């Protein structure tokens, strides 16, 4: 029971790190980006390929995965995404679905469609020797890493100058621009960091979630659930939603495997019917 | 064609009621254009002139029907749906199960598929009334995913991941006559004729619908829901009605697919289907009812062409096409003469 809870929390934390970038682009910048999972997949593949083909140690791979996907995100933001911000939602949906299809097929072509395995270092394998509660070392590692990231993010958003600039740019880009903020550059940086976090999440999650070319499609709905159920105005909303989703999913799959993801979708629809702006969103529609 | 809005009613009181400008404008918009007639004439001609391509044409007709139903929701009511395959798949499974377990008559089966999907549309239409575009995306996607999971898990009923096999359709009889009817043959001649008739019927009905005051008020609430509500249009009711009708048409498309191929699989609920039909509609253009048909023709021909060249990686080119389509701009894409003008002229 406690083990389930623990695994659920680890899963939820992972989902949060994967989806937090989406919470920013979708919630703050009001851009529907279905291709977010593609960045996570990129991070996962960078890690797997570096570890298995070049022999880079696991811990070194994580920052590399972050940097590579952040760069990828920055390049794509500058070239493709920026003209899309002002478009209607339908255009954004079509555009990002197109990107997902391209990413899925490109990875299939370059690496192959089989599931990729990751060889964790020995000190992360196995379980901690605590009676009654089986705590996987790797799960614990995930929780600690993600918790540190969450605190750091929250601190950056609420306490630093960059955070207040970002919030200002999001609230009213024209006024922020008029006050001398370079809104485009702030969005670029934010998008890059969000993509980088997704990449990092993909690298961390390759072991837990599995990694194959259909990753962006398989987990797209999960990321969207985290953001839409959590509401997009705070960072704690998506965090709680991710934890809830993680625990519900792990417990659901353990106790009623017949129903599978059915429960998650039903709960999501019920919550959105009850509170269309998400559980923790503010009521005013943007 | 009486008063469509308070504005029309007000001006109608000045003149004779039948000659109000708004009513005249509505009536003028509802006139049959020459290209519409040509399109309807082309449908039976394609059956006569291309007998060897019936299987492909049948697929095109089904995708076109599916896209027309999405056009009612997206093009006329302005609701972005990522789960329209829910109704397509529900219709397909209903038709297949009905043929397998109850009776093999195709017309009754199609009616059952339409009714089942319409009920599902009615039940889920309350979900799309609230919230933002994102909420609607999530909810429609969620409904399709739930049905996918159900079809996957209820394997005693649906055959699970293997799909529903062994569906045998009876011959197509014309009601009220005692003829032997037409059996579904391997070349797809009967199937294509059947799909064409359904497509043409739906088009005529949908055309009647979108040119009626109801259809015009839908466009009003698409363009500005608040304003539409404040001139006295009951927006929720209209959305429920159009969503149900669109679900019924999508169910008809799914039913046709299951009946003419004798097969229903999980693929009908897949996210790919919903995305594909969006693309089909967008290629052809939204909001004028025939976009789905042109889109389906272009899409299927492209698919055939590219899949023959690189079957495994067809999705890459589909994705690239989508990205370019949106970057160029959907409106400009169907108007090649605007491509090389400056952006100011086009938008």
Interface contacts (A, B; CB < 8 Å): 129
CA distance B302 to chain A (A): 16
Q: Compare CB distances from A94 to B141, B278, B313 and report the shortest one's residue.
A: B278
Q: Scanning every residue of chain B, which has its alpha carbon at the shortest distance from the alpha carbon of A263? A: B146
Q: Do A224 and B138 touch (CB under 8 A)?
A: yes
The mean pLDDT value for B15-19 works out to: 53
**How many CB atoms lie under 10 A from the CB of residue B33?**
8
CB B175 within 8 A of CB B183: no
Whether the CB of B309 is below 8 Å from some CB of chain A: the reply is no
Q: Compare CB distances from B135 to A105, A106, A228 and report the shortest one's residue.
A: A228
Q: B72-85: per-residue pLDDT in tens?
A: 999 898 888 888 99
Q: Do B313 and A286 touch (CB under 8 A)?
A: no
pLDDT band for position B4 (50/70/90)?
A: very low
pLDDT of res. B37: 87
Is residue A127 helix, strand or coil? strand
Give the separation between CA B284 and CA B273, rounded to whole angstroms.
17
Q: Do A98 and B320 touch (CB under 8 A)?
A: yes
Whether the CB of B333 is below 8 Å from some CB of chain A: the reply is no
Q: Compare CB distances from A106 to B131, B312, B316 and report the shortest one's residue.
A: B316
Whether the CB of B141 is below 8 Å from some CB of chain A: the reply is yes
Give the separation between CA B288 and CA B293, rounded to whole angstroms.
11
Mean pLDDT of chain B: 83
pLDDT band for position A275 (50/70/90)?
A: confident
Q: Scanning every residue of chain B, which has its alpha carbon at the shortest distance from the alpha carbon of A83? A: B327
Give the separation between CA B104 and CA B107, rounded to whole angstroms.
9
CA distances from A41 to A20, A33, A48, A210, B268 (A): 15, 15, 10, 10, 26
pLDDT band for position B344 (50/70/90)?
A: very low
Min mean pLDDT across A45-59, B108-122, B159-173, B192-206 is at B159-173
Nearest to residue B267, comparing CAs of B278, B257, B259? B257
pLDDT over 50 at A285, yes or no: no
State ipTM. 0.82
Give the separation between CA B293 and CA B295, rounded to whole angstroms.
5
Ranges of CATH 1.10.3470 domains, chain B: 53-309
Min mean pLDDT across A45-54, A58-67, A88-97, B309-318 is at B309-318
Nearest to residue B182, comparing CAs of B169, B166, B201? B169
The residue extents of the domains of chain A are 2-218
CB B110 within 8 A of CB B95: yes
Cβ-Cβ contacts under 8 Å, B126 against chain A: 273
Mean pLDDT of chain A: 84
pLDDT of res. A281: 60
CB A18 within 8 A of CB A202: yes
Give the separation between CA A66 and CA A43, rounded to whole angstroms.
7
pLDDT of res. B341: 55
pLDDT of res. B306: 86
pLDDT band for position B255 (50/70/90)?
A: very high
pLDDT band for position A70 (50/70/90)?
A: very high
- Contacts of residue A156, defined as CB under 8 A and 6 or more positions apart, other chains included, come to A162, A163
Architecture of domain B53-309: Orthogonal Bundle (1.10)
Q: Scanning every residue of chain B, which has its alpha carbon at the shortest distance from the alpha carbon of A259? A: B153
Q: Compare CB distances from A91 to B137, B138, B330 and report the shortest one's residue.
A: B330
pLDDT band for position A42 (50/70/90)?
A: very high
pLDDT of res. A131: 61
Is residue B86 helix, strand or coil? helix
pLDDT over 70 at A154, yes or no: yes
Q: Compare CB distances from B153 to A260, A266, A276 and report the shortest one's residue.
A: A260
pLDDT of res. A195: 92
pLDDT band for position B8 (50/70/90)?
A: very low
- Contacts of residue A8, defined as CB under 8 A and 6 or more positions apart, other chains included, come to A243, A246, A247, A248, A249, A250, A251
Nearest to residue B288, comparing CAs of B120, B128, B68? B68
pLDDT over 50 at B59, yes or no: yes
Chain B, 151 to 180: residues with Cβ < 8 Å from chain A are 152-153
Percent of chain A whose pLDDT exceeds 70: 93
Q: Compare CB distances from A101 to B126, B316, B325 and report the shortest one's residue.
A: B316
Two tokens, residue B223: 């363009």
- DSSP for A39-73 reads HHHHHHHHHHHIIIII---HHHHHHHHHHHHHHHH
pLDDT of res. A271: 84
CA distance B320 to chain A (A): 6
Give the separation between CA A280 and CA B214, rounded to whole angstroms.
37
CB B290 within 8 A of CB B204: no
CB A111 within 8 A of CB A211: no
The mean pLDDT value for B38-52 works out to: 86
The mean pLDDT value for B187-209 works out to: 90
Query: Which of the given ranges, A16-20, A126-130, B131-135, B172-176, has the highest pLDDT on average?
Result: A16-20
pLDDT of res. B338: 59
Q: Do B146 and A265 touch (CB under 8 A)?
A: yes
CA distance A223 to chain B (A): 11
pLDDT of res. B340: 58
pLDDT of res. A58: 85
Cβ-Cβ contacts under 8 Å, B326 against chain A: 84, 87, 91, 94-95, 98
pLDDT over 60 at B2, yes or no: no
Q: B270-309: per-residue pLDDT in tens?
A: 888 898 899 899 888 888 889 899 999 999 988 888 888 8
pTM of the full structure: 0.84
CB B140 within 8 A of CB B74: no
The mean pLDDT value for A206-235 works out to: 83
Q: Taking the C-alpha atoms of B62, B64, B65 and B68 in order, what is their torsion angle to the nearest 10 degrees?
A: 160
Q: Do B143 and A98 touch (CB under 8 A)?
A: no
């Amino acid at each position: 029971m406690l083990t389930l809870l623990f695994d659920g929390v680890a899963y939820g934390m992972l989902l949060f790190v994967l989806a937090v970038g989406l919470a920013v682009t979708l919630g703050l910048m009001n851009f529907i980006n279905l291709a977010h999972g593609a960045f996570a997949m990129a991070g996962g593949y960078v890690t797997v390929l570096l570890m298995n083909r070049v022999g880079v140690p696991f811990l070194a791979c994580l920052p590399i995965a972050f940097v590579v996907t952040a760069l990828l995100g920055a390049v794509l933001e500058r070239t493709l995404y920026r003209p899309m911000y002002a478009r209607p939602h339908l255009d954004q949906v079509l555009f990002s679905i197109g990107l997902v299809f391209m990413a899925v097929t490109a990875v299939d072509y370059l690496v192959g469609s089989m599931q990729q395995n990751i060889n964790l270092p020995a000190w992360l394998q196995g379980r901690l020797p605590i009676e009654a509660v089986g705590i996987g070392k790797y799960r614990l590692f995930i929780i600690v890493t993600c918790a540190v990231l969450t605190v750091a993010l929250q601190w950056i958003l609420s306490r630093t100058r960059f955070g207040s600039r970002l919030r200002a740019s999001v609230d009213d880009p024209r006024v922020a621009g008029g006050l001398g903020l370079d809104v485009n550059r702030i969005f670029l940086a934010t998008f890059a960091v969000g993509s980088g976090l997704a990449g990092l999440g993909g690298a961390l999650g390759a072991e837990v979630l599995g990694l194959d070319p259909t990753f962006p499609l398989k987990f797209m709905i999960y990321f969207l659930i985290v953001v839409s159920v959590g509401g997009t105005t705070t960072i704690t909303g998506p965090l709680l939603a991710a934890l809830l989703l993680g625990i519900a999913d792990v417990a659901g799959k353990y106790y009623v495997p017949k129903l599978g993801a059915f429960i998650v979708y039903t709960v999501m629809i019920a919550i959105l019917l009850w509170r269309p702006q998400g559980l923790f969103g503010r009521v005013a529609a943007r | 064609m009486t008063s469509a809005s308070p504005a029309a009613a007000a001006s109608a009181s000045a003149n004779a009621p039948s000659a109000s400008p708004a009513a005249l404008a509505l009536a003028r918009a509802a006139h049959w254009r020459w290209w519409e007639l040509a399109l309807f004439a082309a449908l039976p001609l394609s059956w006569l002139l291309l007998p060897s391509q019936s299987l492909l044409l049948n697929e095109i007709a089904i995708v076109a029907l599916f896209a027309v139903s999405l056009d009612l929701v997206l093009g006329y009511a302005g609701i972005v749906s990522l789960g329209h395959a829910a109704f397509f798949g529900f219709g397909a499974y209903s038709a297949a199960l009905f043929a397998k377990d109850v009776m093999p008559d195709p017309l009754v089966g199609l009616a059952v598929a339409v009714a089942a999907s319409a009920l599902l549309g009615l039940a889920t239409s309350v979900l799309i009334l609230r919230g933002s575009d994102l909420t609607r995306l999530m909810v429609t996607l969620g409904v399709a995913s739930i049905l996918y999971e159900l079809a996957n898990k209820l394997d005693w009923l649906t055959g699970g991941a293997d799909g529903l096999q062994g569906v045998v359709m009876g011959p197509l009889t014309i009601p009220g006559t005692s003829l032997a009817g037409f059996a579904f043959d391997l070349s797809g001649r009967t199937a294509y004729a059947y799909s064409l008739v359904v497509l043409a019927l739906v088009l005529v009905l949908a055309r009647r619908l979108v040119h009626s005051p109801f259809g015009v008020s839908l466009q009003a609430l698409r363009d500005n829901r608040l304003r539409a509500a404040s001139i006295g249009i009951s927006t929720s009711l209209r959305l429920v009605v159009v969503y149900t009708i669109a679900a019924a048409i999508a169910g008809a498309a799914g039913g046709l697919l299951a009946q003419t191929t004798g097969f229903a699989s999980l693929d009908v609920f897949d996210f790919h289907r919903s995305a594909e039909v969006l693309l089909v509609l967008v290629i052809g253009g939204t909001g004028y009812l025939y976009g789905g048909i042109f889109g389906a023709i272009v899409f299927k021909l492209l698919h055939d062409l590219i899949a023959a060249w690189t079957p495994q990686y067809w999705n890459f080119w589909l994705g690239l096409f989508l990205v370019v389509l949106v970057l160029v701009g959907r409106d400009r894409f169907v108007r090649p003469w605007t491509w090389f003008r400056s952006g100011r002229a086009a938008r």
